[in-house]
Structure 1
């Protein structure tokens, strides 16, 4: 079982690995889905699964729509980190894949009986 402090780096490594070692549409959309899973992992310790999925989806959508302003593209041209976090261009199908990624987080939590796979549910009292 993964510990809480490993959840984010593991999901991040999976996303970067998919992008580095695969190609085409699979790499793009798996990376997009794992982005939302990463956001889910960040908030799932404080929220129940459905609210965490809604926050992850909403945050991911906000970043995607922010790309319509051109600001992320400008920042991405100057910084690899900005490119990884903000992306550069709006792509409507990404909106669906963010839902898939957040749902993946929910499925993992529900498969473990409501407890995050990456560690103890911090909402539980010791």
Structure 2
């Protein structure tokens, strides 16, 4: 979770933290939903990069706990728009419409938790 938060805009990071903390104590046995921090700390590495092509950037990077197709626990360091700028530096509301085109390393590649991942994006529709 901290790897993603370093790259996420402040507004999105605050919303993410609020969502994680609202899930209770993160203990599924107690009837609450596990938080992303709990899920990520329990992730065994290395992992294969999920195929995020065609998905919304916000859904892919912030995801929901347990979403195996999200990149929530991966080290996403850049999300590059067609004009070359890093969308993760945009204001919080501006990142929601982007669509993931591909990732480097490519989907299916086995990586460690600290491997930097760059997402290539397409313009919002």
TM range (shorter): under 0.3
Structure having the higher strand fraction is 2
Q: Say which structure, 1 or 2, has more relative contact order (CA 8 Å, 6+ apart).
A: 1
| Greater helix share, structure number | 1
